[in-house]
Amino acid sequence: MRKDPIEWLLRGLYSALLYLLLPITVYHLVWRGFRVREYFNRWNERYASYAQSCGRPRVWLHAVSVGEVNAAAPLVNALRAQRPDIRWVITTITPTGSERVRALWGEAIDHVYLPYDVPGSVGRFLGHFRPSLALILETELWPNMLFGCRDRGIPVYILNARLSARSLRGYRLLAPLIRRALRTVACVAAQSQDDAERFVALGARPQQVVALGNLKFDIAAPEHLAEFVAEFHRQVPAVRPVWIAASTHEGEEAAVIEIHARLRERFPELLLLWAPRHPERFARVEAAARERGWGVATRKAQRWPDASSDVFVIDTLGELMAFYACAQAAFVGGSLQPVGGHNLLEPAAVGTAAVTGPHLHNFSEISRRMREAGAVAICDDAAAVAVVLGRLLADPAERSRMVEAGLALVANGRGAVERTLQQVADDLPPLAGEAAVAD
C-alpha cells in the first residue's frame, strides 16, 4: 500500500504530542481516583499491558460508558444469539461502563479499558486481541486506533454514529487527520440523516455513510419489570405521588432540591427517587437531602423507600429504567447544564412521562421527535421544570397522553438493530467450517 506522506506527517505530529502528554494521564487517573476509587485500578489496561496471552481472535466493540453500553446491548445480544461461536471483547473508558458490561454479560464477554491512543498501546491492544472486526459506538474517533485497524486489515464500523454541530466544530483543529482516519472505516452507520451529513462534512466519503436509525429505539424493558414495580409498591402505596430525578449532574443538584421542596408544598407526601449520573455524587446528594431535614433512604442501605422516606437515593447502577417505571413523572438530567442531555427514550419505553431541560445537543434528533409527538416536555429552566412536573403529578389524563405518545414513538422507531445486523453481516468472522473450507 502506497504511503500518504501527509498522513504520516500528521500522524507523527499527533502521536508525538500524545507521547509528550502521556505523563499527564497518570495525574488524571490519580485525580479521578480520588473521586471514583475504581480509577486507581487496572492501569495496565489503559496502556495495553496484559499479563496473559489472548487465545483466538475476538470481535471488538467499543462503548465509552454506560449509555453507549446500553445502546449496544440489543445489538450484542442479537449477534450473540445469531453467532454464539464468536468471542467478544468490549472496551469502555469509564468504570461505570465496565460495571455495566459485567452486569449485562458477566464473564461471558471479555472486558478491558480502551488504551490511550498512542501507537505503542494501540499496537499492543490490537496484537493481543487480534480483532477480526471492530464496532465502535457513536463518536469515538481515535486516529491511531483507526489507522492501526486499517494497517492490520480489520474492518471498522462506526455504529449508531452521531455528530452534533458543536462536535463538528470541535474537530476543526484536527480536521485533516480526522478526515484521513474516517476514510479508513468500512461504514459510518449514522443515527439520522443530519448526523450522516455532518460526518460527510467532517471528511467521510458519501458512499461510506448510511443513516440506519438509532439503536436506542430498540431499547428493551428490564426483565421482571412488573415484579420490580410490584415490590416497590408493597413499600410505597400506588396512590403516593412519586417523581424521579435521573442522571443529574453536579450543577443541577441544587435545582433538584428546590424543585422537590416546591412540589412538596403542593404534594406533602411526595417521594423523590434520585439517581445522580456519577457514583461519586451518590453520597453528596444524600447529604444535601438530609441537610433539608428530609427522611432519606438509599438503595444500597435500605433497598426500598418506606413511609418515612422523602427522598430515596438510587446509589446502584443498572436499575434506572426499573425505577423510572415506579414514578409518575421523570426529570431527565444533564439538560439544565450544557451537558447535552441523557436518554429520553428510557422513561418513554417503560411508560413514564418525561420532562427535561433545554440543553439536548447529544440527543437532538430523539428530543425533536419526542417533542413533535407530544412525548416529552422540554423546559427552559428549573422553575419551568417544577411547574410541568406539578401539572403532570396532578393530572393523570395529561400523563396518560404523554405516556401513550412515548410508547408509540419507541415502538415505531424500532428496527435499527436489524438494519445494523444486515450492514455488518459480510464482515462477521466466518464460521469454523467455512474458515476451514476457505483455507
Residue 223 designated active-site: no
1 close to 92: Cβ distance less than 8 angstroms: no
Computed on alpha carbons and rounded to an integer, the radius of gyration of the chain in Å comes to: 23
Contacts 24+ apart (CB under 8 A), 264-268: 264/310, 266/390, 266/394, 267/241, 267/390, 267/393
Residues 68, 140, 346, 365: which is the catalytic one?
A: 68
Alpha helix segments (H runs only) across 83-210: 95-105, 119-129, 143-151, 165-170, 175-182, 193-202
CA gap 435, 429 in Å, rounded: 9
Q: Pairing state of beta strands 133-137 and 311-313?
A: unpaired
Contacts 24+ apart (CB under 8 A), 118-123: 118/15, 118/18, 118/19, 118/22, 118/144, 119/15, 119/144, 119/148, 120/48, 121/46, 121/47, 121/48, 122/48, 122/148, 123/48, 123/148
Give the Å distances, CA to CA, from 344 to 258, 317, 347, 359: 22, 17, 6, 13
Q: Which three cell numbers stand for residue 330?
A: 421523570
Q: Which residues contact 384 (CB under 8 A, 6 or more apart)?
A: none
Q: Pairing state of beta strands 329-332 and 311-313?
A: unpaired
Q: Which sequence positions are flagged as catalytic?
A: 68
